[in-house]
Amino acid sequence: MARAGFAVDAVCPAHHPLYSVNTVDRYFRFPVRGVEKGLEEVLLEAKPDLVVPCDDRAATSLHSLHRVTESEEVRGTIERSLGDSAAYAVIGSRYELLKLAQSLGLRVPATGLIQSLKELEEWTGLHPYPAVLKVDGSWGGTGVKVVHDWVETRGAYRRLLSPNRLGALKRLVVNRDPYMLAQQPSEKVLTAQEFVDGRPANCMVACWKGEVLGLVSVEALSVMEGVTGAATIVRVIENDEMMSAAVAIVRRLSLSGYCGFDFMIEKVSGAAYLIEMNPRATQLGHLELGRGRNLTAALFAAVTGQEPVDAGKTTEKDMIALFPQAWEWTPEDPLLAVAFHDIPAQDSELYVELSKPSWPNRSLLARIDSRLRGKQAPIRRG
């Protein structure tokens, strides 16, 4: 964003890798308790032209702040940054988003809103296994379970909907992350979805007032954990069906800023099924891939009315190993030998920071917990 012309402030927890980025002007601490009030104070002090949520916690917090704030300035900042507030409830619900997509004639897997075990039994009786159970408010493959029979389905239902207070306490004590404990939802929302046999793909969009300014689409060649994990190595692709779906939803919801769309490309037919949306910047956002694919430059031009800065292309290769995920999770993948590695070479402090274990996992307790659970230390390669 700094290369595109923005002045950048950051809101993040203590010890976050953003403190190693040399182009951030000011830092604000992300609040844990009293999130809405704390974020409101930050926005009133920083007075940003644009707010960019970079994870689901931040997006949810901004939506929540918009509902409760009495400040017209704060409400206006959020709407300018994210788009029409009427869309927030839709994009915060996997079921409502896919219902909207279906009404637009987009290709989606059969999806049901599940409010009881009996409803789940009825839904699975009408749809073939395997199926995918998902909890709203989860990300990165957490809160998602692929099931293959009723016994597995029933067990997954109970685990996904049970309050994870023990896990939240572990995150607080071991990983120094108090957010889960402070933000335990009172009621979880579950959806069931038909499984699409194929390969995951996704696109990230820069948009402004319902218009798509730029789009990057990729298919996942390697992922972190099975079919539900985040991608580690991707291939840049052109896919008309994915692009049309993104354009249609952005236009209908009048979105602004960044958002991402996840798809499954069916193995036999090549059809692209929309499976969910991420109302935030995704892991493709830093890539600069030329005209129409330099998302931040396009957004800068829309926000300021100035000409976008031509930063050139990050790489001419279409295969990209995401750093540090690819090195940590798939170090033996032969594709690493031919892919472009998106190392932040221009920012040595950030490179060093990201080459270490994730900051919540550096404490002695975190290392002991990892050993007890049989997890290996991350493997990094130079």
Is 202 among the domain residues? yes
56 and 132 co-located in one domain:
no
- Write out pLDDT tens, residues 318-375: 999 998 888 888 888 999 999 999 998 888 899 988 888 776 666 666 666 566 555 5
Q: Is the pLDDT of residue 382 over 60?
A: no
Is 363 among the domain residues? no
Q: Is the pLDDT of residue 182 over 80?
A: no
260 and 136 co-located in one domain:
no
Is 234 among the domain residues? yes
- Write out pLDDT tens, residues 131-177: 999 988 766 556 789 999 999 999 999 988 876 565 556 565 555 56
231 and 331 co-located in one domain:
yes
pLDDT band at residue 377, thresholds of 50, 70 and 90?
very low
Q: Is the pLDDT of residue 378 over 50?
A: no
What pTM value is reported for the model?
Answer: 0.87
150 and 214 co-located in one domain:
no
What is the Cα–Cα distance from 274 to 201, expressed in whole angstroms? 9
- Write out pLDDT tens, residues 93-128: 999 999 999 999 999 999 999 999 999 999 999 999
Query: Which CATH number covers residue 309?
Result: 3.30.470.20
119 and 144 co-located in one domain:
yes
Mean pLDDT for 62-90 is 96
165 and 203 co-located in one domain:
no
Mean pLDDT value across the chain: 87
| Of 382 and 262, more confident | 262
Can you give the pLDDT at residue 308? 72
What is the Cα–Cα distance from 30 to 24, expressed in whole angstroms? 15
Is 351 among the domain residues? no
302 and 315 co-located in one domain:
yes
What is the extent of the structural domain holding 33? 8-82
223 and 165 co-located in one domain:
no
Is 371 among the domain residues? no
Cross-strand bridge partners of residue 11: 28
Is 362 among the domain residues? no
153 and 208 co-located in one domain:
no
Q: Is the pLDDT of residue 46 over 70?
A: yes
Query: Which CATH number covers residue 116?
Result: 3.30.1490.20
What is the Cα–Cα distance from 192 to 136, expressed in whole angstroms? 11
- Domains contained in the chain, number: 3
336 and 282 co-located in one domain:
yes
Is 349 among the domain residues? no
- Picking from 133, 166, 194, the residue at the C-terminal end of a domain is 194
Can you give the pLDDT at residue 360? 67
Can you give the pLDDT at residue 283? 86
Is 303 among the domain residues? yes
206 and 269 co-located in one domain:
yes
pLDDT band at residue 30, thresholds of 50, 70 and 90?
confident
216 and 133 co-located in one domain:
no
- Write out pLDDT tens, residues 278-308: 999 998 888 888 877 899 999 999 999 987 7
Cross-strand bridge partners of residue 28: 11
